[in-house]
């Protein structure tokens, strides 16, 4: 009976419409929104095996999700019960053993696993992943065979077409023999981009050459603009199923058989999911900007670009009250969980007092830390300064620290990603046992860090940052001035293309450095208008800059 039930729950790829895997787009809010509007299956964004294999599976009882958390505490993949039977986990991999480790890690929380063999971007291909696998069929066979034999859920892959039809058919027939459940086919060659027309004849030939479901992909711009176009795309390709990327990114209600909804309505629906599931604000902005498209410079678009938190984005859409209600609900869950949580109860481990706490930097003001508070307390009480002893765990290189204060030892039972964080966690344990404020945001001023010193620290940091920004802004403006009338060795004025390779790179990285951002794509979207004003860029040059760095 159990086997029959499992077979009934097994995800089918026949006659389905799916949300295609898209980097930065296929996160939980977008996947849930696609399901709301009629998608049968949703793929997550491609996640790299090397990063995923380091993650820990964490049940997030506050958000009611399952999170896969990296050693640096970033949530690499978040899912929930609602999508469990319909979400496909797509990985980027070039190693059979690592692929299997990742598949087994997520196996209980997803409906299927997919191997990306079609991404032509350098970040994927340089590691032998994505489209680079197309030239290594032996590696493809090894990865897929390992996965099919190693997990209990369906295994699929997504490819691009090869230079010749015969090569493509030969590859998919070899893939079919590994035992995969379905094959996704993007109907473009590795070097082609969305502006190139899709090769429906190749997809049709593949569908005729294998007996497993073929999922056609790549028709968003040319062939699929509304739900009514999906059936025609399926007919043209002869495929069993269809997956949509850009058409769904621009308006996820494309899956709605009753016709698309106004994008303004869909954006609000998306934002509500982003708030409910604590989606990263930069990711929320990115997805909303994709939906705004040519309205990204509208008053609403500018407010979204300027926002730094989900609260500010919610305010732009008139959803501040909704955001506040969700925050209150989440806080109520936290309070309820902490009420029965033994983590706040000290436990003796030999002569060391331990508590299960972690240091989270966002809960403390800039330049104010638990270690600083503990040091000031020890000076006030005229005891020896805190002494920290830190060890590193070999299997995952995590750290744990023990602090000795007034002859007593304190330690967090949780391991941290760095020596500094481990020492901060130990200081928190000590301060909580002593009943001393630890410097958290909103905590009553303990007087440990005197007002003058606190202001000096904060003002010093602010002045330093402002000085750095002023210097970089001067460089940027000078570079923009130089770009207005560039001169080549023959004395003639150069065209923009003659100097863009050198100058644009310098200008861009100066701007990124000035704003201290890690995600350049999100940064570009969020400050495009200010870049235009600072650097006198016209629209064509902005697009050229965007294309140069990300395509």
> How would you list the strands of the sheet with 56-60, edge to edge?
56-60, 65-69, 75-79
How far apart (Å, rounded) are the C-alpha atoms in residues 231 and 328? 44
**Lookup result for tokens 């691009």:** 160
Please give, one letter per residue, the 3-state secondary structure of 1-19: CHHHHHHHHCCCCCCCEEE
SS3 for 508?
A: helix
SS3 for 340?
A: coil
Strands 41-43, 155-160: pairing is unpaired
Catalytic residue flag (residue 119): yes
Please give, one letter per residue, the 3-state secondary structure of 44-99: CCCEEHHHHCCCEEEEECCCCEEEEECCCCCEEEEECHHHCCCEEEEEECCCHHHH
CA-based R_g, the chain, Å: 27
Q: DSSP assignment of 283-313, as one string?
A: HHHHHHHHHHGGGTTSHHHHHHHH--SHHHH
SS3 for 416?
A: strand
**Lookup result for tokens 């939906």:** 291
Residue of 44, 55, 119, 157 with catalytic role? 119
- Cβ neighbors of 1 (< 8 A, separation 6 or more) are none
SS3 for 25?
A: coil
Residue 31 C-alpha from the chain's centroid: 13
User: Around Cβ 491, how many Cβ atoms within 10 Å?
Assistant: 6
Contact 147, 105 (CB under 8 A): no
List the catalytic residues. Answer: 119
């Amino acid at each position: 009976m159990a086997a029959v039930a499992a077979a009934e729950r097994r995800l089918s790829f026949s006659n389905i419409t799916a949300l295609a895997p898209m980097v930065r787009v296929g996160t939980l809010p977008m996947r849930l929104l696609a399901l709301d509007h009629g998608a049968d299956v949703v793929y997550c964004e491609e996640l790299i095996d090397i990063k995923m294999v380091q993650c820990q599976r964490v049940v997030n009882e506050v958000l009611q999700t399952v999170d896969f958390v990296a050693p640096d505490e970033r949530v690499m993949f978040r899912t929930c019960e609602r999508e469990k039977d319909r979400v496909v986990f797509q990985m980027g991999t070039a190693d059979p053993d690592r692929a299997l480790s990742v598949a087994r890690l997520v196996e209980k929380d997803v409906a299927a696993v997919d191997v990306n063999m079609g991404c032509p971007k350098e970040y994927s291909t340089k590691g032998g992943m994505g489209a680079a696998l197309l030239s290594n069929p032996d590696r493809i066979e090894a990865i897929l065979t390992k996965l099919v034999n190693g997990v209990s859920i369906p295994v699929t892959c997504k490819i691009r077409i090869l230079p010749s039809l015969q090569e493509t058919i030969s590859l998919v027939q070899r893939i079919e023999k590994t035992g995969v459940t379905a094959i996704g086919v993007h109907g473009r060659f590795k070097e082609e981009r969305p502006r190139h027309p899709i090769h429906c004849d190749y997809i049709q030939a593949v569908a005729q050459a294998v007996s497993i479901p073929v999922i056609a992909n790549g028709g968003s711009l040319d062939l699929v603009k509304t739900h009514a176009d999906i059936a025609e795309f399926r007919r043209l390709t002869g495929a069993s199923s269809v997956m949509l990327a850009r058409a769904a990114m621009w308006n996820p209600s494309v899956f709605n058989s009753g016709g698309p909804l106004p994008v303004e309505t869909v954006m609000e629906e998306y934002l509500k999911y982003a708030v409910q599931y604590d989606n990263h604000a930069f990711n929320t902005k990115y997805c909303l900007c994709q939906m705004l498209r040519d309205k990204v410079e509208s008053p609403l678009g500018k407010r979204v670009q300027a926002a730094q938190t989900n609260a500010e984005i919610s305010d732009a859409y008139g959803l501040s009250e909704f955001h506040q209600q969700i925050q209150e609900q989440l806080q109520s869950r936290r309070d309820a969980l902490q009420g029965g949580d033994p983590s706040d109860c000290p436990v003796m481990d030999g002569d060391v007092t331990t508590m299960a706490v972690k240091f989270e930097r966002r809960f403390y003001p800039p330049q104010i830390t638990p270690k600083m508070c503990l040091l000031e307390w020890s000076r006030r009480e005229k005891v020896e300064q805190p002494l920290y002893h830190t060890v590193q765990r070999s299997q995952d290189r995590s750290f744990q620290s023990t602090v000795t204060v007034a002859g007593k030892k304190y330690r967090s039972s949780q391991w941290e990603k760095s020596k500094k964080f481990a020492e901060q966690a130990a200081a928190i344990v000590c301060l909580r046992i002593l009943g001393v404020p630890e410097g958290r945001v909103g905590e009553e001023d303990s007087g440990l860090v005197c007002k003058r010193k606190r202001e000096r620290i904060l003002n010093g940091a602010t002045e330093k940052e402002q000085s750095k920004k002023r210097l970089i802004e001067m460089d940027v403006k000078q570079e923009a001035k130089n770009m207005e009338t560039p001169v080549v060795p023959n004395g003639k004025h150069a065209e923009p293309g003659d100097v863009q390779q050198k100058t644009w790179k310098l200008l861009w990285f100066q701007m990124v450095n000035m704003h201290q951002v890690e995600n350049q794509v999100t940064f570009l979207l969020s400050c495009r208008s200010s870049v235009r004003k600072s650097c006198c860029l016209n629209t064509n040059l902005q697009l050229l800059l965007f294309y140069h760095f990300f395509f």
